[in-house]
Amino acid sequence: MTKFIQWTGLALLGIGAVASLTYVVMSYRIVPVEKNNSFPADQSSTPTAQQTAASSDDHHGASAAVDSAVFNGLVGKTAPDFTLEKYDGTTVTLSSLRGKNIILFFNEGLMCYPACWNQIAAFGNAKEFDPATTVIFNITTDPKRDWTNAVKKMPELAAATVLFDTNRVISSAYGVLTLPSSMHRGQFPGHSYVIVDKNGVVQFVRDDVQMAVRNKELAEEVKKI
């Protein structure tokens, strides 16, 4: 008799649990999730360059404050001249290239993989620019010898013209060491563009914290010159 009572109690508990679960399931309302493939229209929700730089500082410990004054002040002025060595050992002097538009891409180089590498490779195989009128230089502070392994890893880099500013003199002159895109601010450039016109005057600057490939956008800017 005792066992019968025990089994009956267990059965009642089981029925009660099933009933409760059924109520919960029937009461639960599934709310469909709307897909949104567009960027938010409210730009206030988009991080500013300063906010992005601050986030980067948390990860990389940048030692210098953001300072874009020199970089932004280049527009309308003669571009600082330089003579830098290429990967093949020859040199390039900016002032010797009057009569051509020049795109300068200051970047962190080897440490900035894959973002900077992708942009350098894209410049090396660019179809958006006429080589007879536009020349593109990728300026990095890396030692030239370190690029051998990079080219082996991504052969497309070999088609691009890389200039080595190992002492950072030119990067400092262009003010690219303290821009928001720099992940090691004060020490290395980040992801910054300068367009110099046929007369040697800077017509456009852009520091790209998104570190994207910007061939199309830059080609449109060159057309405006």
pLDDT digits (tens, 9 = 90+) for 142-174: 999 999 889 999 999 999 999 999 999 999 999
Residue 76: inside a domain? yes
**Per-residue model confidence as pLDDT tens digits over 178-219:** 999 999 999 999 999 999 999 999 999 999 999 999 999 999
Per the structure, the complete domain to which residue 210 belongs is given by 62-224
Residue 52 has pLDDT above 70, yes or no: no
Tokens 């962190």 map to which residue?
A: 108
Q: How far is CA 68 from CA 10, 38, 49, 176, 182, in A?
A: 75, 30, 11, 8, 11
Number of domains observed in the structure of the chain: 1
Q: Is residue 34 part of a domain?
A: no
pLDDT band per the 50, 70, 90 thresholds, residue 41? very low
Residue 54 has pLDDT above 80, yes or no: no
In-domain check, residue 66: yes
- CATH code, domain with 84: 3.40.30.10
Q: Would 79 be classed as within a structural domain?
A: yes
What's the confidence (pLDDT) of residue 62? 53
Neighbouring CB atoms inside 10 A of 161's CB total 16
Q: pLDDT tens digit string along 89-148?
A: 999 999 999 999 999 999 999 999 999 999 999 999 999 999 999 999 999 999 999 998
Q: Is residue 9 part of a domain?
A: no
pLDDT tens digits, one per residue of 2-20? 443 343 443 433 434 434 4
151 in a structural domain: yes
| pLDDT above 90 (res 65) | yes
Q: Is residue 1 in some structural domain?
A: no
Q: Is residue 31 pLDDT above 70, yes or no? A: no
Q: Is residue 119 part of a domain?
A: yes
CA distance 193 to 69: 15
Provide the pLDDT for residue 64.
85
Per-residue confidence band for 63, with pLDDT thresholds at 50, 70 and 90: confident
pLDDT of residue 201: 98
DSSP-H helix ranges across the chain:
2-27, 49-60, 69-72, 115-124, 147-153, 169-173, 215-224
